[in-house]
Structure 1
Amino acid sequence: MPIIGYAPGGWDLFHVGHLNVLRHAKQHCDYLVAGVVDDAMLEQAKGRLPIIPALERAEIVSHIDFVDEVFIESQPDKLETWRRRPFDVFFKGDDWKGTPKGHELEARFAAVGVEVVYFPYTVHTSSTSLRRALTLLEPVLHEVTGS
């Protein structure tokens, strides 16, 4: 029986850290589903809309060799996501490992037979730092392009 893995993310401003998460996830399963968090959920979680809309982010992620399927998440409960798109392994960043939220996630998934596997983040690259750099460049780009 093939092992189905699920790797959720915003995948906004796709970068090497995102690629690494998907690469590592695929090494731990036979079939990888990449969850793409929709715009409303990202705005709720981050306090701002993503730069790239959900359907475009899903299109980008669907073309990554490690990804077998894309599922757009439209609600925050990961157990409900599992009910809508079942999987055997759930991949999460290691910033949750050992935290109350991580323990709760592990317990809820253990009750339905899903293993939680943690991966380290790529520290030197993040969508937040890319967004910050773009914000700093915005006045310069405006001056150069005149728009």
Structure 2
Amino acid sequence: MARTVITFGTFDVFHVGHLRMIERAAALGDRLVVGVSGDELNLAKKGREPIFSQAERLAIVAALKPVSEVFVEESLELKRDYVLQHRADVLVMGDDWEGKFDELGDVCEVVYLPRTPAVSTTALIEKISTTG
């Protein structure tokens, strides 16, 4: 039986850390579903609008070879609903979320992957704004 993995992210200013996360998540199953944080959720979560629009970020992530399906994540509180809706066997999150989704262990395996060192969207945006 095919094993479905689900992960989430904003994926703004797409970088190698995002790519590695998606590749590592995909390696845990047969099918990878990715929730891309909507513009409103990103504004609420990070206090700023994304550089790239929701539609652009969805298109970028959907074009990646390991990704089977993308959808808009509207709320952090709906993780359980998304896992159930997409029949995910594994939820993958970055280790900056460690412990925050352990309660979903009753419906799927929960895996926290280490982030790629020295790569962050916020740091990239700050670097671009100070050198640009």
Length-normalised TM-score, structure 1:
0.84
Q: Check whether the contact 2:83–2:91 (CA below 8 A) recurs between aligned residues.
A: no
| Residues 54-65 of structure 1: pairs in structure 2 closer than 5 A | 54-65=54-65
The superposition leaves residues 110-146 of structure 1 with CA deviations (integer Å, 9 ceiling, x where unpaired) of 222x1111111112111011110121134xxxxxxxx
The superposition leaves residues 20-77 of structure 1 with CA deviations (integer Å, 9 ceiling, x where unpaired) of 0000011101000111000100110101111001110000011111111111111222
Matched, 1:86 2:87: yes
Match of 2:105 in 1: 110
Q: Equivalents in 2 of 1:96, 1:41: separation in Å?
A: 16
Counterpart amino acid of 1:80?
D
Q: Equivalents in 2 of 1:45, 1:86: separation in Å?
A: 26
The structure having more radius of gyration, on CA atoms, is 1
Unaligned runs of 5+ in 2: none
Q: Equivalents in 1 of 2:80, 2:64: separation in Å?
A: 25
Length-normalised TM-score, structure 2:
0.93
- Structure 1's consecutive aligned runs of 4 or more residues displaced over 4 angstroms after TM superposition are none
What SS class does the counterpart of residue 95 from structure 1 fall into? helix
What is the total number of aligned residue pairs between the two structures? 131
